Amino acid sequence: MALPACAVRTLGPPLQPERGAPARTTCPRRHSRVEAELAVSRPGSVAASVCAGPPRGVSHGFHSQPLLDEPLKASSSLAGAARAPLFALLSRGRRRRMHDLRRRWDLGSLCRALLTRGLAALGHSLKHVLSAIFSKIFGPLASVGNMDEKSNKLLLALVMLFLFAVIVLQYVCPGTECQLLRLQAFSSPVPDPYRSEDESSARFVPRYNFTRGDLLRKVDFDIKGDDLIVFLHIQKTGGTTFGRHLVRNIQLEQPCECRVGQKKCTCHRPGKRETWLFSRFSTGWSCGLHADWTELTSCVPAVVDGKRDARLRPSRNFHYITILRDPVSRYLSEWRHVQRGATWKASLHVCDGRPPTSEELPSCYTGDDWSGCPLKEFMDCPYNLANNRQVRMLSDLTLVGCYNLSVMPEKQRNKVLLESAKSNLKHMAFFGLTEFQRKTQYLFEKTFNMNFISPFTQYNTTRASSVEINEEIQKRIEGLNFLDMELYSYAKDLFLQRYQFMRQKEHQEARRKRQEQRKFLKGRFLQTHFQSQGQGQGQNPSQNPSQNPNLNANQNLTQNLTQNLTQSSSQRENQESQKQNPGQEQSDGSTTNGTNDYLGSVEKWR
């Protein structure tokens, strides 16, 4: 194969093998061809610059001028030709590596050139598209085919402003729950913030019959007087979070003073140096660690008014509140807490004036704590206070002989404890459920007429939810806590019925206010209309009303307008009530009728 003349001139004399290098075993013609190709492909040689031409796939029109017309590139080509003999003196492996590097450099240059050209074409197309959109919106300012420099600058400014706004919006409001992104509020009503929180059906079937007094819980709490809120904190029910809400998240005339690094806060009444809250974060464990119903009812009055004379003690109202939780989740959470070293040894368990003996309440472990215990060992202990803890802490233990199990049979004891816990829970001023945080907040605000600053947060992922148990273990935990399971079912039914009753009562109150407002506006309208008619008759006293058809027509028009306004308002109220309470009977807006309607609806749901 004949080589080009430019390649022959560039190669010069044939390459001699290096001293000490092995002799070639291939054809010398093949080596000369390879060397010629290497010389031609060298970017710094004259042969590459003169004979090679543009890269494959790229036309001469891509560059503004030919390669030889640029003096800078020509000088670099001459320098490359001068360095050609030095390149020939290198070893074969090093020449091949240098050749690969130069070839890669050429390929990278080609890719960069193609990318630049493609981006330029894309920008040109985008410019035409944006110019067309810009001309449609701002027709007089720009045209589709021809855009002057001012239009280009204005278009670029608009695009940059839009991108900056998007970046700022994502920085300020990264989540989907941002108030700025709720555009559906303009087209659809705001969703109920107190909808079902456990992903269950919003409408439930009640199992228990409750009276109006059981459902309507509204406490006339006088924070400036002598009333006191007592928080019964059951272990692992979310009581710590709720206790912090009580001292840090309530709108008060005189908020609680909480110092950094201290758990307890000072919650004084307005104008008094006396607390209105008896809880862990206000008074500490004054009646013992996690005191139960039996301890609190006998201890709190003595702690609050112990220093005063019995004749000078005020007649206080003690409003007891608590939080309950699903028994299985609470049991697993307590087991995990015990695994980490919790013991609650400071609990007094005082009942009937004395703590239990070691025979009445044995310990499940030996040593300082029960850390690292497996779940099976935790369940196997018959004296574990985690079993049916919520029933035990809410019942009156004096009815069953405190912790003495020999007073009555076990079956009778369990029945008495369960009925006592249900009765105390029903007559409490308030109780909430861990699984319904927003509803808990709503009922507390309606019960005590005290509002929280920020809404409660529903945490669906807890330490208990991370524990994976099979169906057999779950059944056993439910069996160990069968009293708590029954109490929680009762409490959940009462809680949800109270919530629905309070919501219905709130809707009826809003309806009544709207009706009164419409009646007031209607009266003002009729009064203004009759005054205008009286002024017209005063100006024409000699004219007979029967001879004035316009006056009679105005009176008939007024009567028709009044009837239509009354009918439309009543129809609108009925439609709104049906939307708010589907399937329930409508009432006339009074509290008594609203209660009867709700209780009647409960019977229908059954």
Residues recognised as catalytic: 290
Contact (Cβ atoms closer than 8 angstroms) between residue 434 and residue 322: no
Question: At CB < 8 A and 24+ separation, what contacts does 366-371 make?
Answer: 368/343, 369/338, 369/341, 369/342, 369/343, 370/338, 370/339, 370/343, 371/338, 371/339, 371/340, 371/341
Structure tokens at 111: 């890719």
Structure tokens at 541: 């006293």
Residue 57's CB is within 10 A of a number of other CB atoms, namely: 8
DSSP 306-350: TTS-TTT-----EEEEEEE--HHHHHHHHHHHHHTT---TT----
Residues in the chain: 606
- Return d(Cα 398, Cα 394) in angstroms, integer: 12
- Return d(Cα 595, Cα 213) in angstroms, integer: 10
- Return d(Cα 525, Cα 515) in angstroms, integer: 15
Report which of 558, 476, 443, 474 is spatially closest to residue 194, judged by C-alpha positions. 443
DSSP 542-566: TS-GGG-HHHHHHHHHHHHHHHHHH
**Residue 54 DSSP symbol:** S
Burial group, residue 443, by CB count within 10 angstroms (0-12, 13-18, 19+): buried
- Return d(Cα 494, Cα 352) in angstroms, integer: 30
The answer for residues whose C-beta is within 8 angstroms of residue 584's C-beta and 6 or more apart is: 504, 597, 598, 601
Structure tokens at 115: 């990318």
How many CA atoms does the CB half-sphere of 260 hold within 13 Å? 0
Contact (Cβ atoms closer than 8 angstroms) between residue 233 and residue 282: no
The answer for residues whose C-beta is within 8 angstroms of residue 446's C-beta and 6 or more apart is: 217, 218, 502, 506
| Helix ranges restricted to H, 207-258 | 212-215, 239-248
Report which of 472, 451, 34 is spatially closest to residue 246, judged by C-alpha positions. 451
Bridge partners, residue 322, by sequence: 232, 431
